[in-house]
């Protein structure tokens, strides 16, 4: 027989985690002052008039550098559980981690040769 009372904590957590943000938005909508003047509707509220166009194009190199950083940063996080449980898991996990590191090194060399790691 499936017993639902085992999931009471889960349902309580789910309900509370949904109610708190909704209440926060409702309270801020009720209590926040509403003033729509010309300064409020301008692009910047710092008091300085915006100069030039708001559309600026960035070079793709910035995105590539950020993407390479995020990929290798996230992939390095996956190595931590292997390092912690290495003695329990054995040689097969060591071989798997070695192949994983080899793939990361090949990717790093590829990004380096393509110039994705150069900032200038």
Q: What is the pLDDT of residues 11-65, one digit of tens each?
A: 899 999 999 999 999 999 999 887 777 766 666 656 666 677 767 777 777 787 7
Task: Give 23 or 103, the one with higher predicted confidence.
Answer: 23
Radius of gyration of the chain (CA): 26
**What percent of the chain has a predicted confidence (pLDDT) above 90?**
17
Nearest to 78 by CA among 55, 104, 43: 104
Q: Let me know: does 71 contact 100? Beta carbons within 8 Å.
A: no
What is the pTM (predicted TM-score) of this model? Answer: 0.45
**With 90 as the cut, is the pLDDT of residue 71 above it?**
no
Instruction: Locate the domains of the chain by residue range.
Output: 1-31, 57-119
Query: Is pLDDT above 90 for 7?
Result: no
The pair of structure tokens assigned to 58 is 């960035």
């Amino acid at each position: 027989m499936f017993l639902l009372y085992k999931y009471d904590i889960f349902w309580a957590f789910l309900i509370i985690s949904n109610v708190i943000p909704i209440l926060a938005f409702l309270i801020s909508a009720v209590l926040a002052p509403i003033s729509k003047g010309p300064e409020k509707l301008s692009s910047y509220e710092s008091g300085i008039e915006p100069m030039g166009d708001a559309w600026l194009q960035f070079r793709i190199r910035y995105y590539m550098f950020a993407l390479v950083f995020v990929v290798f940063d996230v992939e390095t996080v996956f190595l931590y559980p292997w390092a912690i449980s290495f003695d329990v898991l054995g040689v097969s996990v060591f071989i798997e981690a070695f192949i994983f590191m080899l793939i990361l090194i090949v990717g790093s060399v590829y990004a380096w040769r393509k110039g994705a790691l150069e900032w200038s």
